[in-house]
Amino acid sequence: MVSTSSTNETSDPYAATESETTEGKVYTVTGQDWDTIVSGIAEDHDDKVVVNMGPQHPSTHGVLRLILELEGETVTEARCGIGYLHTGIEKNMEFRSWTQGVTFCTRMDYLSPFYNEMTYVLGVERLLDIEDQIPEKAQVMRVLLMELNRISSHLVCIATGGMEIGALTVMTIGFRERELVLDLFELITGLRMNHAFIRPGGVAQDMPAGALDEIRDFVALFKKRLPEYADLCNANPIFKARLEGVGHLDLAGCLALGITGPPLRSTGYPWDLRKMQPYSGYEDYDFEVQTWDTADSYGRFRVRLNEMHESLKIVEQCVERLAGLEGAPVMVADKKIAWPSQLAIGSDGMGNSLDHIKHIMGESMEGLIHHFKLVTEGFRVPAGQAYVPIESPRGELGAHVVSDGGTKPFRAHFRDPSFTNLQATSVMSEGGMVADVIVAIASIDPVMGGVDR
């Protein structure tokens, strides 16, 4: 077996060094042209090459390792090597209170943190039997943040996918638009990523002053800029040539592997949990499930592009509903569960404001003790288990939450679509070129924080 190969001229600083292993001769490559590598193997009369692409590679979406077996430039076998991120998030959640668990799970799929928080919180609320008690304003704010997050996540997918095939303009405008969304997140939650804003019972705090106007301005601007992607890519012959027919996976393959999200909808199957199994009031919003009929990388790109238009429609509806909910509560009324939602950030942007601290300290001794116990110990959740899936930008994301009746999760396990969808790597890549592997992986849009939980 050969990892990669080259000529063995010691005078060449980039020449491959060779070593014998139990699996045969292995070459270490440090920077040759592909022709040199192939010719070096031909001298050894070995037509099979095994290449490690990653885990440190600009085109493998984080610390994903791809083991590719090649004949020339044709991929004959492709496998994923995962486990390089070592987060231990699910295990860590067993040692924190139910509310603190949000701070951990938001860091899994770091491109769509609100969805991680949402599926976990919905599971906790089902165990608490308070699903019908969540205030309307909190539900609308959750939907607003998730749909803005869908836009920002799809922008990263399209931007990085464009970068990996050389479409650098797609990358620059993609990250330009994403910055605008992250500015809104910072305005509403105080953070650009890893927010821990969606809490059991509602959300951490109310909308700040002027936030709705900022969102309206963003929607108006983004409606003008979103067509740029269509102009740059939809009918671009070079872009289409790199994506059309690449990473093909039909409906039968998706169903067999449990593939969800844009890869599933690109086969023409309109499966979207927001429509099929509505949660958080999605049944009250007007939007359409976007599909395509090519079952390839180009179809997945078009699905994501169209979904951003639909998310803008939902965001506009959320803004109009929030305009009529001024002063409404954003946290469940039960004080045994409700995390303080009147939080105000300090003038330095860190910690609670002095006025908020004075308010807490000025309450009765019993109220102060209750606040202390709620924050340090947390509330108890009745014994049981729940699984509540939601439609994340990458597909079905669900949290299986188990309680033993204590103040901490007995077990929290996530069904992350990045992990499941990576199963399609082999069937999408084998038989194609090395360059097509990059496109196929990008069309899956895996985030390794969600894979290595």
The one-character DSSP state at 3 is S
Give the model's pLDDT for residue 245: 83
The letter for the amino acid at 215 is: I
Helical ranges in 20-107 per DSSP H: 34-43, 89-93, 100-105
pLDDT tens digits along 16-38: 455 556 656 665 555 556 566 56
CA distances in angstroms from 123 to 130, 289, 291, 401, listed in the order given: 11, 25, 29, 6
- With contact defined as beta carbons under 8 Å apart, do 143 and 134 qualify? no
Contact predicate 138/145, CB 8 Å:
no
* Separation of alpha carbons 346 and 208, rounded Å: 14
CB 238 within 8 A of CB 427: no
User: Tens digit of pLDDT for each residue in 259-288?
Assistant: 998 999 999 898 989 989 999 889 999 999
Arithmetic mean of pLDDT, 427-448: 86
Tell me the C-alpha distance between 182 and 328, whole Å: 25
* Strand-pair partners of 199: 202
Q: Where in the chain is the domain with CATH 1.10.645.10?
A: 89-337+379-451
Can you give the pTM of this predicted structure? 0.84
Is CATH 3.40.920.10 the classification given to domain 89-337+379-451? no
Look at residue 51 in the predicted model and tell me its pLDDT. 79
Beta-carbon contacts of 124 under 8 Å, excluding residues fewer than 6 positions away, are: 98, 101, 200, 381, 386, 401
Write out the H or E segment, with its range, that includes residue 117.
helix 113-128
Which residue would you say has higher pLDDT here, 50 or 359?
Answer: 50
